[in-house]
Structure 1
Amino acid sequence: MDSSSNGSTGEGSHDFARARRIVKTDEFSSVFRLRPAQKSAHFVLYTRPNQLPNARLGVVVAKRLAPRAVTRNTIKRVTRELFRTTALPAIDCVVRLSKAVNTKAGPATNAKLKVMLRLELVRLFEAQAKARR
């Protein structure tokens, strides 16, 4: 299924069809083999050029870094939303949570923490969009 059937355009489109996801283990591994493209306080972004007409995304949120399912799902949801709305070139991106987000002082459901994570992800994706133009 291509993105043109639902009225979306390829760059910065709002769909998240299977063609825009990294789902296979070997696809994740091939991106992980490369050095991290960028790091932020909580995330590491790995990238690799692909031969497809669009960018693809994979998200890795380890249970030991975010023990609550609601936290892991929130992180994945925010990451996918920002990926969909950022115009990226044809690259494979893997976003990996690298630092625990749950602490007694600041649980991950805290709105301030969500805003901080969103800002980190926006910076990572925008830097990639600028670097690959």
Structure 2
Amino acid sequence: MTGEGSHDFARVRRIVKTDEFSSVFRLRPTQKSAHFVLYTRPNSLPHARLGVVAAKRFAPRAVTRNTIKRVTREVFRTSGLLPVDCIVRLARPVNGKDGPATTRSLKAALHAELTRLFASQRARRAAPPPVPPTP
């Protein structure tokens, strides 16, 4: 199932190459939230693409990092962004080594935070550029 409004996450919708990540990271962060930083760059493709960076120092357990990536992809698929390359980077710890790796409340909190992050990006892209006042 591909095309407009598709909810798949095929390889063409992923940022996978190092140079693709680097070209988006060169730009300033677009949005920040409590735990994440969103970088975006317009692309010439008919769809948006996503890359996720979840460092061990902010999510020490692999199960936590995988949960973050899974929730991020789910929110991205349903966000309906215009053609942009997006990188979501985990910027602050979500839990410690000794705490529970994933809980229902953690997943819900991550989902809500990422939904707000992508929604703010969609709103920024949809808003027309400001028109200078005429004298």
- What is the TM-score normalised by the length of structure 2? 0.87
What's the counterpart of residue 54 of structure 2? 61
Shift of 1:58: 0.1
Shift of 1:116: 1.1
What's the counterpart of residue 94 of structure 1? 87
Name structure 1 gaps, 5 residues minimum. 1-5
Q: Where do 1:104-119 residues align within 5 Å?
A: 107-119=100-112
- What is the TM-score normalised by the length of structure 1? 0.88
Structure 1, residues 63-111: CA drift from partner, whole Å, max 9, x if none? 1111111101000000001111111000000000000111378534132
Q: Where do 1:1-133 residues align within 5 Å?
A: 6=1, 8-11=2-5, 13-103=6-96, 107-133=100-126
Contact 1:65–1:101 (8 Å) recurs in 2: yes
What's the counterpart of residue 3 of structure 1? none
Contact 2:55–2:90 (8 Å) recurs in 1: yes
Contact 1:42–1:99 (8 Å) recurs in 2: yes
Name structure 2 gaps, 5 residues minimum. 127-135
Contact 2:35–2:94 (8 Å) recurs in 1: yes
Cα RMSD, aligned residues only: 1.5
SS at match of 2:116: helix
Report how many aligned residue pairs link the two structures. Answer: 126
Shift of 1:19: 0.8
Shift of 1:9: 3.3
- One-letter amino acid matched to 2:59: A
Contact 2:60–2:96 (8 Å) recurs in 1: no
